Structure formats: C-alpha cells, structure tokens
A and B are shown apart, each in its own frame.
Chain A
Amino acid sequence: MFLQYLARRAIGGFLVVLLATFVVFVFIRVAGDPAALIVGGTGENITINPERVAQVRQQLGLDKPLILQFVDFLAGLITGGLGNSFVTGRPIADELRVRLPLTIEIALLSEFTAWIFALPLGLFSALRRGRFTEALTRIFFFVASAVPAYWLGLLVLIFVLLTFGWRPPLGLVPPTQNLWVHLQQIALPILVLGFVLAAGLVRFIRNAVLEVLQEPFVQVARAKGLAESTVVMRHVLRNAFAPTLAFSGLRVGYLLGGVVIVETTFNLPGLGLFFVEAVARRDFPVIQIAVLILGTAFVIINLLTDIACSLIDPRLRERG
C-alpha cells in the first residue's frame, strides 16, 4: 500500500514537472519570438530582416506546430540529445556533463552544512529551554533568514581577504585534478549557503524537539530509568527527525535557488550560472532544460525524503 502511495506520488510529481516544462515551453514561444531575438538581439530599435528570421526559425524548428515541437523536445530528452544552445551552438548535454556534478556537489554539501549548524543549535535550545536559548535561536533565525546569500558571500570574501589576505583560487579545478584546490574554491560558497539554509531548520528542529518532549513515551522512557542522553538520542531525536527531514525536503526549492545565487556570486560554472547566463542571453533551449532539471530534482528529492521518513518512522507507512 505504501508502495502504491509512492508510485502515485512519483507519477503525479513527474506529470507536474512535465506540465511545468510545457508551460515554459509554450510561454517562450507565444510571448516572444525567439528567432527574432536571435537575429535582432535584445535592442528595441534594431531593424530585423524578416528573411533571416524565417531562416533561423526553420533552422531551429520553430516553424512547426507547437505540439510537434514539444514532442520533438521530449523525444530529444529520451534519446539524450538535448539540443544545442541558441547562443553558442554547442550541445547542451556536453555542458551539463561538466556542470551538473558541481551543482549537485554544492547542493548536497550546503544542505549537509546547514544540518551541522542547525542540529546542535536547535537541539540545545530545545533541551535547555529558557529565555536565553529562545533569544539565541530567534536572533539566529531572523539574521540568517534576512541576509541575502549573495551579500553574505561578498562580505565573507572581503573579511577573509582583509584579515588573512587569502582569496579562493581562480578558475574552478575539478576534484579529480586537485582536491585541495577544489575544496578551497567551494568551501566559502558552501558555508554561506549552509548558514542561510540553517535559519529555518534551527527553528523547525527546536519546535519539533519541544513537541516530541511532551509525548507520553518520553515520560515512559524517563520513568523506566533511562539515562537522559539515551532518552534524547533514541526517543526524542529519532521522532523529531522524520518531520525535520520532510521539512527540508519541501525546502529544496529554497536550496536550489540558493545554489543559483552562490554559483553566480562565487563564479562557479555549475547549472545555476548556466541558467543565469542563459536568461541574460535569452538562450531558450538552455532555460527549458534548466527548469526541467530543477523541477525533477524537487520531485525526486521529495520522494526520497518520503521514503526516508517512512523508514525512520513506521507509522508514516500506514497512511495510504
């Protein structure tokens, strides 16, 4: 029954992503003429040669009916041919092969860093409950959730440069080539994004732990003489963990948006920077693929957190 539920969620999720891609696809073609943009650039007073526009339109297959274009696009996805960038003419698949691993790396490590920040702080403030810890989590929450990641990134760069005279090495080096240099390059973006993401997480963990502490089974655990550390580790944390995991699953959009920002701030050539450059140059095939990837990531991660939650908390499996 749980498997059925997961399957339904998976199918529903992918339909939503497909629909999102379709909406973007149609929006691009209806609201503007990509071919005219390519020929004429983005200026307003440029006279556009209609023959050239027609030629480009035919080259890119934009003269076919919308539905056919979308079918072509989907067929391309399945066969792995993602098409070429309008601007550089290079295959998008080649770009993604280099860029996706970096983005996944930054996203995972940032989320991990956020948990490293948030778990001790949230747990501490829930267990040592009082005015001081409440103020502490409040201030942390408000500051970390108000600071824009791009500004914090620049501030950290300034701080590190002025106090230690150090700045991350330029020109990204892949980890296989020189792991040490690579780590230096991604350390700051990960710390910055991790800090920003920790904001909501600290508060959620604190509230989740406070909630669990009031459950009767915690009282039972204490009453049967378990050490407080065992009560916290085995009973409280375990039960607070599942909702927290689901919460961070729902915030994946926030994480991915943050990745786009830090990649731009620190000039890391991942999917985010690719997307931003594509929007600036109106490189529509790239925009479509990026939206598809980001949406798919959201769906997949939420499925995974669902599965993880049900493994941690068997009660969740009951629900159909």
Chain B
Amino acid sequence: MAEAVATPIARERVSAVRRRIPWVGITIVALLTLIVLTGLVGPSVNSRSPTATNAMARLKPPSMQYPFGTDELGRDIFTRALYGLRTTLLIAVPGGLLGTVVGTLLGLIGGYRRGIVDFLLQRGVELVTAIPSLVVASVVVAVLGPGRIQLIGAVALSLTPVGVRVMRAATLRVSESLFCEAARALGASHWRIMLRHVLPNCLGPVAVLASLNLGAAIFVETGLSFLGLGVQPPNPSLGNMLTGAASLYFSRAPWMVIFPGLIVTVLILCFNILGDMLADYFDPRLRSQTNA
C-alpha cells in the first residue's frame, strides 16, 4: 500500500549555525539521561513506599513534603511516579529495543533475499499494520496475561512492522551497491554480506528507528496500562496512575493527573526529537518514512 504515496521531501535549507553545535540535541540527551537515571535509581533512594496509604493526608496538594501531592488514599504521588517511571521504563525500553532488533533483522532478510520469504514477510507486516498497534498489544495481553514479559512481547510485536518496512527499504537500496556485488564475487556468504556489509550501511535508519520506537513503546505501554490492560494496580505505572480514582477525583485533585502524564509526554517528546535529529543527521528523507 505504501507505493501509492508519492513521498514529498522538504528541501529545507539547513543553516550553518544549526549544524555547528547541536544544543538542542545535548539538552535532550541530558534530559533523557536524567529521567532514565531517576527512574532506575530513584525508587531505591526514596524511602517511602508507593503503596503505603495515609488516611491523614488524603488528596493533599503539592507541597514541600509531597512534591506532586497525594492521592485519594493518601499515597505520595511523587513516590508512585518514581516507581511508575521505573515500571514503564523496564517494560518500554526492552520492548522498544526488542521490536527494533526483530524488525531490523526481518527487514534485512526480506530486503536482501526477496522472493517468497520477502513476500510472506510483507503479508505479515500488512497483517499487523491493518490493526492499530494498541489493539495488537491488547490482544496479546488478553491471551497471555498482563505480566512483565508478556507486556514486553506485546510492545515489541506492535512495533515490529515499522522496523521491517524501514529496514527493507534501506536494504533494497544498499544491497544494489557495488561493494555488495564485490563481496559476493569474493565468495562471501549471504549472512556475511547481510551482517558485515548491508547492516553497517543501514545504521542511520536503524538509529532513527530505535529512537522513535522507544517513544512509541512508551506510548503503547502507558496506553495499555491506562486502558487497564497493562500493569495492574496497586503497582503504579505512569499509565495506570491516570485511571480509576484519578479520573474520578481529577476536579478536586488535578495534580493526580497532571504529573504522571507530564512525565510520559516529556519522555515521548525527547525520544521523538532525538529520532528527528538523527534522521536529519543521517538522511532527511527518512523522516517522512518513519513518522507515519
């Protein structure tokens, strides 16, 4: 179906100034590192419990003691957000990376071998693309249950088709090159050509893909948890903190909704901007392929 689209390419003038020092990129990477470190280290540094209730401190607005306020059971939202961030990252990052690796390898094989393998892969991609990614992930969870491993698998599966599509296009381009022909003439095996010659020349698209997929993985994980299908309460996840009580109390305690969602948004924003900058760096044409 993708053939029907004549992809427009913006021939944007890149000013010399923007190329010199990528301040935006540095800021984004620093911010991402900060958030990820907070998510991984925070829960063990913070002595509060994410599930401890306190009847004396229900629905308290943000203060020095409770930076993000408290919820309807008097639980500290800051602590819950820390644990939620860790849960989200521990599912979305492996899921996003797994989806990228599987998609990349399948796209590489499909684009390189063509023929029946490619045909079957393309139909498989169409099969998964025809159904919204959140729905694909939901079906996996419905059957296998909402455990961490299952969620990682669900996230990975929903992201695989994008990887296959992007990588296949890149492989088709690269495997036509003379150096691939030369390697073949020297008697290199198919696997050697694919892994040592084609793949390294597709690293640009793969880097872009990985970054955008991490953003998408966070979107799918938090979305699933928001729908009540992912991480199950009382364990906090950035997504499930916005359902249940939060949707009942949001008028009296908006902070219950604002902070967890803000973290999700900033995370996705960072990964998207990073992906975009990588795309600009490697090849501006990639952008229009991946942001669909």
Render B259-292 as a binary contact track against A, CB cut-off 8 A, 1 for contact.
0010011101100110010000000000010011
Q: In the assembled complex, which residues on chain B have CB atoms less than 8 Å from the CB atom of A162?
A: 251, 254
Q: Is A274 an interface residue (CB 8 A)?
A: no
Q: Which of A146, A151, A260, A295 contacts B227 (CB 8 A)?
A: A260
B215 interface contact, C-beta 8 A: yes
Q: A193 to nearest B CB, angstroms? A: 13
Which residues of chain A are near B41, meaning CB under 8 Å? none
Asked if A291 is an interface residue, CB under 8 A from chain B, the answer is yes
A264 to B5, CA, bound (A): 32
Determine the interface band of chain A, counting residues with CB < 8 A from chain B: 35 or more
User: Once the chains bind, are B264 and A28 in contact (CB under 8 Å)?
Assistant: no
Q: Is B142 an interface residue (CB 8 A)?
A: yes
A73 located at the interface, meaning its Cβ lies under 8 Å from any Cβ of chain B in the complex? no
Contact B127 A145 (CB under 8 A): no
Interface centre among A208, A240, A256, A306 (most CB of B within 10 A): A208
Q: Tell whether, in the assembled complex, residue B242 and residue A151 are in contact, meaning their CB atoms are under 8 Å apart.
A: yes
**B4-39 Cβ-contact flags toward A at 8 Å (1 or 0):** 111111111000000000000000000000000000
What separation, in Å, do the CA atoms of A257 and B2 have in the docked complex?
A: 20
A48 to B55, CA, bound (A): 39
CB distance from A249 to the nearest CB of B (A): 8
Tell whether A151 pairs with B261 under 8 Å between CB atoms, given A246-B4, A279-B229. Answer: yes
Cβ contact within 8 Å between A261 and B134: yes
- B interface, over-half SS: helix
Binds A, one of B74-82, B96-104, B196-204, B218-226: B218-226
Q: Does A214 contact B (CB under 8 A)?
A: yes
Q: Which residues of A contact B53 (CB under 8 A)?
A: none
Query: A257 touching B133 by the CB < 8 A rule?
Result: yes
User: Are B132 and A154 touching (Cβ within 8 A)?
Assistant: no
B123 proximity list for chain A (CB < 8 A):
16, 19
Question: Shortest Cβ distance from B233 into chain A, in angstroms?
Answer: 12
User: Known: A20-B127, A154-B242. Is A146-B132 also a contact (CB below 8 A)?
Assistant: no
- Evaluate contact between A260 and B257: CB separation under 8 angstroms: no
B261 touches A261 (CB 8 A): no
- A46 adjacent to chain B (CB < 8 Å): no
**A-side contacts of B127, CB under 8 Å:** 16, 19-20, 23
Asked whether, in the complex, the Cβ of B4 is within 8 Å of the Cβ of A306, the reply is yes
B251 cross-chain contacts in A, Cβ below 8 A: 158, 161-162, 167
Interface of A is mostly: helix
Interface string of A160-189 (1 = CB under 8 A from B): 011000010000000000000000000000
B132 with A145: CB separation less than 8 A:
no
Interface size bucket, B side? 35 or more
Once bound together, how far apart are the Cα atoms of A214 and B8, in whole Å?
Answer: 11
A109 within 8 A of B: no
State which residues 193-240 of B face A: CB under 8 Å.
Answer: 215, 219, 222-223, 226-229
**Which of A52-60, A90-98, A198-206, A221-229 lies on the face that meets chain B?**
A198-206
Q: How far is the CA of A9 from the CA of B1 in the complex (A)?
A: 9
Q: Is A31 an interface residue (CB 8 A)?
A: yes
Contact with B along A262-288 (1 / 0, CB 8 A): 001100000000011011101010010
Q: Which residues of B contact A261 (CB under 8 A)?
A: 134, 223, 226-227
Which residues of B lie under 8 Å from residue A260 when comparing CB positions?
132, 134-135, 227
Any chain A CB within 8 A of the CB of B245?
A: no
Mark A residues whose CB is within 8 Å of B. 9, 13, 16-17, 19-20, 23-24, 27-28, 31-32, 42, 134, 142-143, 145-148, 150-151, 154-155, 157-158, 161-162, 167, 200, 203-204, 206-208, 210-212, 214, 240, 242-243, 246-247, 250-251, 253-254, 256-257, 260-261, 264-265, 275-276, 278-280, 282, 284, 287, 290-291, 294-295, 298-299, 302, 306, 309, 316
7 smallest beta-carbon distances between A and B, as pairs: A151-B261, A257-B132, A211-B8, A146-B269, A207-B10, A146-B268, A208-B8
